[in-house]
Amino acid sequence: MIALTLAQIARAVSGTLHIAGADTEGTVLAGPVDTDSRLIEPGGVFVAKPGEITDGHLFVDAAAANGAAVAIVEHLVETRISQIVVSDAVQALADLAREVVARVRAHGDLKVVGITGSNGKTTTKNLLARVLQDEGETVAPRASFNNEVGAPLTMLRVTDATRYLVCEFGASGPGAIARLAGLVDPDVGVVLMVGMAHAGGFGGIEGTAKAKAELVHAVRPSGVAVLNADDPRVAAMASIADERGLTVRRFGTGPTADVRAEETETDAAGTRCTLVVDGARLPLHLRVLGAHHVWNAMAALTAAVALGVAPQDAVARLETVELAERWRMQPLGNDRVRIINDAYNASPDSMAAALRTLAQITGPDERTVAVLGAMSELGEYAGEEHDRIGELAVRLRIQRIVVIGADARRLFLAAVGEGSWDDEAVFFATADEAYDYLLTELRDGDRVLVKSSNSAGLRFLGDRLGESFS
């Protein structure tokens, strides 16, 4: 965080300052901000956020022991450090992030990019951060810090030297993206796609589209909207951008795209294509597994070009990225049994893309094995979407379908109904049972996809399989 006095922090969060020890209102802090007492560093700010399982107020002393200089709390606690009492700690975190970003913008050259979409946010964020970091100091979220806590924590990492802030915006319901993006008023807003991820929280895909469009509404005047020309719901957001006087830059595979992919080929070494950028043809070898990541790469490139990065430089940097993020199309195992751990999250669109990738990268003498768990947050659409994925796996000729968990049972039944018989599709109640089965079932030449939503926990099964076949 930038240097602020205790009094300035208190004003920013509309809190009441209670000074302890040798502190004064003018005491200057410049340490990091966190809600996890275990991650607090000397001089840091601890935000005591109440949680569903525990309460941050119980850990103020632990934060102080790790060097916290002040705690933002909803009620005073017994501790030796200064405290700022607020009515809502999460809102205070957001207010502090808004203040810090505004101060850096006021006397610096900070540019802010916001990224949203039903799928691909984290991969695109990492690709764009890799491109921008060679241009100047770049701050981007760790992992998937994209909610009401994670996004402000990312924003608070900016310093006076930061040139680019890349924000990832997720949403559990209407208005969430508007609130988060409104903290920073992005210069560039990137909308990747509108799919069924979290559709249960939005009342369907049209509600999801409206929520994602909140980012276009939040881009500052004279800013840039980067839109997926291949997704009709995203492409339609150009009308919002036009009404607000924004520049629209499109990516995709069609003729309207400013950044266009042609001649795409995918194998186990990644995806090769030709990118057409404002008439120039640039070859790209993207080593992140999966042809669907070409759209994420195009989105990152389009945003980077909008910020003034030379296209050829951006493409060269994209080619250095080998892994988007842990548990996202992460290659594990060995050359004989290759495990692809993509179980950090799952939606119908990302599940389908991962299954297609598995089919594409498996040679004629190799076997496809899909280890699949539940897709969460689909609400009333859960049953039919699990049916659709089970049917797709069979139509893609996936040779072994291993389904885990009661919430994914309809996927298994759909695969059987589509024609996956004679133990081609199997069901296990737990990951441990599936692990025991796979240890004896997997053989040389197998290409194994592990895919589920985070809540299903199959990412840890993927890690175990990767270790067993390393």
Q: What is the CATH number of the domain that holds 20?
A: 3.40.1390.10
Say if residue 253 carries a ligand binding annotation.
Answer: no
Residue 96 lies in a domain: no
Q: How far is the CA of 105 from the CAs of 37, 136, 466, in angstroms?
A: 29, 15, 45
Helices (H), 244-310: 293-306
Q: Which of 318, 345, 365 is the last residue of a domain?
A: 318
pLDDT on residue 197: 62
Same domain, 417 and 386: yes
Q: How far is the CA of 172 from the CAs of 18, 95, 110, 127, 160, in angstroms?
A: 35, 20, 28, 24, 32
Residue 225 lies in a domain: yes
H or E element in which residue 28 lies: strand 28-29
Residue 15 lies in a domain: yes
Say if residue 123 carries a ligand binding annotation.
Answer: yes
pLDDT on residue 201: 64
Q: Which of 318, 349, 367 is the last residue of a domain?
A: 318
- Report pLDDT digits (tens) over 208-250: 999 999 999 999 999 999 999 999 999 999 999 999 999 999 9
Say if residue 453 carries a ligand binding annotation.
Answer: no
Same domain, 360 and 303: no
Residue 95 lies in a domain: no
Same domain, 221 and 313: yes
Residue 28 lies in a domain: yes
Say if residue 451 carries a ligand binding annotation.
Answer: no
Same domain, 350 and 394: yes
pLDDT on residue 132: 98
Dist CA 127 CA 146 (whole Å): 16
Tally of domains in the chain: 3
Q: Which two structure tokens, joined as six digits, stand for 230? A: 């291949």
pLDDT on residue 198: 60
Same domain, 142 and 202: yes
Residue 102 lies in a domain: no
Q: Which of 259, 292, 318 is the last residue of a domain?
A: 318
SS (H, E, C) 256-275: CCCEEEEEEEEECCEEEEEE
pLDDT on residue 274: 98
Looking at residue 341, its amino acid is: N
Same domain, 249 and 313: yes
Same domain, 158 and 217: yes
Say if residue 122 carries a ligand binding annotation.
Answer: yes
Residue 448 lies in a domain: yes
Say if residue 144 carries a ligand binding annotation.
Answer: no
Q: What CATH number should be reported for the domain holding residue 436?
A: 3.90.190.20
Same domain, 368 and 303: no
- Report pLDDT digits (tens) over 140-188: 998 778 999 999 999 999 999 999 999 999 987 889 999 999 999 999 9
Same domain, 287 and 430: no
Taken as a whole, the chain contains a residue count of: 470
Same domain, 305 and 347: no
Which residues have CB under 8 Å from 95's CB, separation 6+? Answer: 12, 13, 14
Same domain, 310 and 438: no
Same domain, 309 and 262: yes
> Residue 464's domain spans which residues?
330-468
pLDDT on residue 352: 96
Q: What CATH number should be reported for the domain holding residue 168?
A: 3.40.1190.10
pLDDT on residue 379: 87
Low-confidence ranges of the chain (pLDDT < 70): 197-201
Say if residue 208 carries a ligand binding annotation.
Answer: no
Half-sphere exposure of 271 (CA within 13 A, CB side): 26
- Say if CB 460 and CB 435 are below 8 A apart: no
Residue 144 lies in a domain: yes
